[in-house]
Structure 1
Amino acid sequence: MKHPLAERFDGAGKVLAELDARAADTRDHLAETRGTIDAYHPKRLRLIVAEVIDETATTKTFRMESLDREELPPFLAGQYVNVFVDGTSRPYAISSSPTRLGHYDLTVRRVPGGRISNLLLDTVETGQIVNTTGPMGTFHHNPLFHGEDLVFLAGGSGVVPAMSMIREVIELGLDRRFQLIYGSRNASDIIFRDELDAVAAAHPGISVDHVIAEPDAEWDGATGFLSVDVIAALAGDLGRRMVYVCGPQALYPYALEQLTALGHSRKRIRFEANGAPAAPAAQPHWPAGAEPGEEVTVTVGGASFRTRRDRPLLDALEDRRIRPEAACRSGECSLCRVRVVKGQVHTAAEAKLRLSDEQFGYTHSCVAYPISDVELEV
């Protein structure tokens, strides 16, 4: 007996045959889809430290290999993984090329007083197992929007994503101009110096300019900070070149001021997310009269604790072993979203909130600060 649709439109027979074939398909499509997603975008990776490379007196590269797969998930040069350790986590950019997926290189510089950077540099050894997220982040090259003529302003360990980008250009033979202007405190602080200088000498499309803030008598290169005069002297007319900026937090407003003074469009400047603000109370929208050092009460699921106003909610929650999913810790990725049921929270300017977040009371806990007693839904 013919199906009632068989003569209703051209091609009906083919559609019906495909429906019959699908009805006989007993594959677990959900599991297959989940497997594909996990291969490219895993929630967690188990990595083993295959090698520890001393870069400078304050910087090491940890070469990480997978315990569970032949190749690590693909990533875009400039992206990071979030490293879980000591009850918290920190994002670290991948310095190796995305063409080499047998390992990830994570280059870590010591931060004075930094809880995690010091722990990693002082305790992590070859053979140690480390848990991370998969690669993520939006600080990467997009040829459609960014073009192929790029300037990268780096300060300190901000050179790490630039190194990944440069290595990719070389290994793929990309037709891309890449100028790195790299500021360091002194010559001994320059990470990847030998490799960068060798690359610049061998590849006409890549240039590397070092700028030293505290030069010794032997330094004959550029000195000072990444100022208007220094950028103009080294890069010339920026035109429509895309400018990437990565480094310590203090570099970002300074670089924006210098680039704006050069007449460069804000749309042609890209900043890497780089942590919670060092002084949230200095932001213009911090409520008047709210003393940063005073404590308030945070309530989650019926349990309460005290914390300072100027401590990020994510850090305060982790101290109590309440651990929302987190990655960037800079207000960008939104994984650490929590809902403010009661009370007032200062959400830092770094937060990339959705319109619906503001409408329904959500904030990014990594860059949110309790101004009054608050109740949260985590």
Structure 2
Amino acid sequence: MSTSTNPLAHLFEGADDVVAEIERRGAAGADHPADAREEITPYHPKVLDLTVAEVVEETVTTKTFRVRRTDGRPLPPFLAGQYISLHVRVGDVLTSRAFSISSSPAALDHYDLTVRRLRGGRVSNHLIDTVKPGDRLTSGGPIGTFYHDPLFHGDDVVFLAGGSGVAPAMSMIRDIVDHGLSRRMTLLYGSRRADDIIFHDELDAVAREHRDITVHHVISDPGPDWTGEVGPLDAALISRLAGPLAGRMTYLCGPPGKYAYLVRQLESLGHPRRRIRLEANSVALPPPADPRWPAELDPEEQVTVTVRGRGSLRVPRGRPLLDALEDNGLRPEASCRSGECALCRVRVCSGEVFHAEEARLRASDRQFGFAHCCVAYPLTDLEIDF
């Protein structure tokens, strides 16, 4: 093949070089895994060795951890809205959690990870309570599908954020500002109290200085001095603050328990589901709150999970399989912990699992018996392999 025989090649800069390289590799008659690995690894590393450079106290519940690559090299590029999965040891358990990058893709000397304290949050509270500048962390590379695609999402978007769900919105806003993007963005940001609004001053300053960025703060528990908007963030308030939604992509990131409610509010305004994007950052309805959970099965009752070649363990039905494995020193590869990325797939050799609704199972998963163990719960005794 040559560019002279391809009628589209002249439309692409560098097409001649690409075609020549394809022909060179084809003539060699072999794959080039070493070459491919060398080119891909800087962009998609399996492990990043990070050092905490700075810890910023954003609010009484939230801190931002600025991390840099320990060896001083630039960090892999990412798209605003993506996350990294931190590997953290809490007590005797090595686990991981996904945290959205809140810094701008324009600055690759660091990532900012904005973490809010959660009731019962094993990793978030550990980070907030113990991690300090100079500490070392490891993570995977940037990953995730919750980002703006200019081809399909248009240049006028709406973002509904709650709590630390403002982190990917902040990255998107900083991306617009730093790269001078021709994009309009309206942020409706819900917080419980005025003193817990993350990035409050920066968001207000950006909105004042950039006419294409609009920020509305919505408080659910206002104090006597609050003069802004008061929640809940329902259809009427969304319509009044964001204006007509027709043709605009809408992003949702915040407490997953609010997603179903917010989707209903948007749909009641005639906004189609295909124009609503959710950040899948945890499971919204664990058993037995999920109405699909078999009513006759007690989520606290224990079953036996046998891992081929590694022994057996007793776990409650209502505990995610990934958490149960980590509790016992067994660690499948994992990243999103929300059923999306599929890195934590395990093969179910026997027995039955229950998948949370968020699990994005593929046809091949169903055909060959694979489970996304971060959102899979053992209904019966299981034998698995990974």
TM-score normalised according to structure 2 size:
0.90
Other-structure match for 2:362: 354
**Structure 2 equivalent of residue 12 of structure 1:** none
| 2:315 alignment partner, SS class | strand
Counterpart among 196, 218, 234 of residue 241 in structure 2:
234
The C-alpha deviation readout for 1:72-93, integer Å capped at 9, x for no partner, is 0000000000000110000000
Q: Is 1:318–2:318 an aligned residue pair?
A: no
Secondary structure at the counterpart of residue 256 of structure 2: coil
Does 1:66 find its partner at 2:74?
Answer: no
* Aligned equivalent of 2:83: 80
TM-score (norm 1): 0.92
Any gaps of 5 or more consecutive residues in structure 1? 1-14
Residue 334 (structure 1) aligned with residue 342 (structure 2): yes
CA distance in 1, matches of 2:244, 2:79: 28
- Matched with 1:243 is 250
**1:201-240 equivalent positions in 2, closer than 5 A:** 201-240=208-247
Say whether 1:181 aligns with 2:184: no
* Mapping 1:102-251, distance limit 5 Å: 102-251=109-258
**Distance in structure 2 (CA, Å) of the matches to 1:102 and 1:294:** 48
Tell me, yes or no, if the aligned pair for 2:83 and 2:143 is still in contact at 8 Å: yes
How far apart, in 2, do the equivalents of 1:224 and 1:165 lie?
Answer: 24
The partner residue of 2:314 within 300, 306, 320 is 306
The corresponding residue for 2:301 is 294
Matched residue SS, 2:340: coil
Query: Is 1:155–1:251's contact at 8 Å kept on the other side of the alignment?
Result: no
Task: Give the direction of change, closer, same or farther, for the CA distance of 1:109–1:20 in structure 2 (3 Å limit).
Answer: closer
1:56 aligns with 2:80: no
Whole-Å Cα distance in 1 between the matches of residues 212 and 314 of structure 2?
Answer: 55
Aligned-partner Cα distance in 1 for 2:275–2:155? 13
> What secondary structure, in the 3-state scheme, does the structure 1 residue paired with 2:325 have?
helix
Cα pair distance change 1:237/1:340, threshold 3 Å: same
4+ runs of 1 displaced by more than 2 Å?
18-23, 28-32, 276-285
Whether 1:266 aligns to 2:273 is: yes
Q: Does residue 284 of the first structure (1) align with residue 291 of the second (2)?
A: yes
Q: Deviations over 1:316-359 (max 9, x none)?
A: 00011110000000000000001111111001110011101001
Q: Relative to structure 1, is the Cα distance of residues 361 and 20 closer, same or farther in structure 2, using a 3 angstrom cutoff?
A: closer
Query: Are the aligned partners of 2:306 and 2:312 in contact in 1 as well (CA < 8 Å)?
Result: yes
Contact 2:285 / 2:356 at 8 angstroms: preserved in 1? Answer: no
Shift of 1:214: 0.3
- Distance across 2 between alignment mates of 1:105 and 1:21: 43
* SS of equivalent residue, structure 1 residue 53: strand
CA offset digits 1:294-325 (Å, max 9, x no partner): 11111112511111111000000001111000
Alpha carbons of 1:148 and 1:19: their partners in 2 closer, same or farther (altered >3 Å)? Answer: closer
State whether residues 326 and 336 of structure 1, in contact with CA within 8 Å, keep that contact through their aligned partners in structure 2. yes
Q: Which has the larger radius of gyration?
A: 1
Match of 1:35 among 38, 42, 56: 38
User: How many residues matched?
Assistant: 360
Q: What residue is the counterpart of 1:9 in the other structure?
A: none
How far 1:232 sits from its partner (Å)?
A: 1.0
Output the aligned Cα RMSD. 1.9
Q: Is the 2:63–2:116 contact (alpha carbons within 8 Å) kept by the matching residues of 1?
A: yes
Query: 8 Å contact 1:276–1:366 — kept in the other structure?
Result: no
**Separation (CA, whole Å) in 2 of partners of 1:292 and 1:277:** 16
Q: Distance in 2 between matches of 1:51 and 1:294?
A: 44
